[in-house]
Structure 1
C-alpha cells in the first residue's frame, strides 16, 4: 500500500495511522517534532513556531507554540489509540537564521528557545527524544515515514541525514 503524503504547515499538527509520510518544509527557527508509537503504528507531527503561548492573545492554532502543541498532539495520538508509555520523539530545526548584533541570547534567539522549550516539555511528559538535529544557522525540511520510522532531514548546504 502506497503511503499517503501529508504536508504539515506552519503551526499545524497532524496525527495519523500507518501508512503515511509526514512532511514539513522550511524549518528555520521552527521545530519539526514527531511523536510515534511503533506498536500501534500511529504517528504525529507538529511544526512549532514559538516556545511559549503565554504572550499571545486569541491564538487559535495550538501547534504554533511548544507549550500548547505537545499536549494537543498527545491528545490526538491518544484519540487514535497510541500508547503514551511507548511514545518516542524525533525533532529537527531550531536554527538561528539571522546573525544580528546581540542576537545570541534573549528574545531574538527564537531557535534556541524553541529547542529548549520542546526538550523540556518532552522531559516533563517522560517521552524519550531518540533523535535530534537542531541548532546551527541553516534551514531544514523533514519527512517522517511510518514505514521505516526514520526522520529524513534535508539541510540547506549540508545534504540529507537519516535519524
Structure 2
C-alpha cells in the first residue's frame, strides 16, 4: 500500500489479492486471463475488488479462504458485505478480464482456455451469490489494467490487445 498526495491510499492487487474498504482508496491491478470483480455501495461509498486466477480449488475443510479462486473470492466478498451490514443488491458490480493469453498450438488442437472458464465461473458465481453485474469487459485477447476509486465508484480500464501499437 502506498500513500501519496491528497491522502489517497493506493492498493495494488497481485493475483489472488482482495481488498474491501472505503475512504480515498484507489485499487488497481493488471489482468490477463484472470478476472477482477468490483463492488461499490453508492450510498455508503464502500466497496472492494478481487483478482482471481482460477474457478476453484475444491477448498479443503477448515482451510482459510484464498482469493486466487473464484468461489473463494466470492465468499470473501460475502463476508465483507455481511460485515458492512449490507446486502449484495446494494452494490454496483462490474466484471473485467478473462483475456485469452494463449495462441493456438498450430496442430489444430484447442488450447485449454482458462480465460473462458474464468469468465463463465465469474458470472455463475455472481448470480448464485445475488450480485448483478451492470458493466463487463471480458474475453477477447490481451491485457487489461484497472483503477477503481472507492470514493467515487469510478473504474478506469486500459485494454491493449496483442499486436496493437502503443
TM-score bucket of the superposed structures, by smaller chain: 0.7 to 0.9
- The structure with the greater share of residues assigned to helix is 1
Residue correspondences, number: 155
Give the TM-score normalised by the residue count of structure 1.
0.84
Deviation of 1:74 (Å)? 2.0
Show CA shifts across 1:18-77 (max 9, x none). Answer: 22111112x110001111211121111111100122288997552111111101122123
Q: Secondary structure at the match of 1:136?
A: coil
Q: Secondary structure at the match of 2:124?
A: helix
Structure 1 Cα separation of the partners of residues 144 and 61 of structure 2: 29
Deviation of 1:100 (Å)? 2.4
Q: Tell me which residue corresponds to 1:141.
A: 145
Output aligned runs, 1:61-76, within 5 Å: 62-76=66-80
Question: Match for 1:6 among 3, 7, 11?
Answer: 11
Q: Tell me which residue corresponds to 1:22.
A: 27
Larger Rg: 2
Show CA shifts across 1:116-139 (max 9, x none). Answer: 000111111221101111111111
CA distance 1:9–1:81, change in 2 (3 Å): farther
The RMSD of aligned alpha carbons is: 2.4
CA distance 1:19–1:5, change in 2 (3 Å): same
CA distance 1:46–1:52, change in 2 (3 Å): same
- Of the structure 1 ranges 12-21 and 53-62, higher mean CA displacement relative to structure 2 is found in 53-62
Task: Name structure 2 gaps, 5 residues minimum.
Answer: 1-5
Task: Name structure 1 gaps, 5 residues minimum.
Answer: none
Q: Tell me which residue corresponds to 1:32.
A: 36
CA distance 1:59–1:99, change in 2 (3 Å): farther
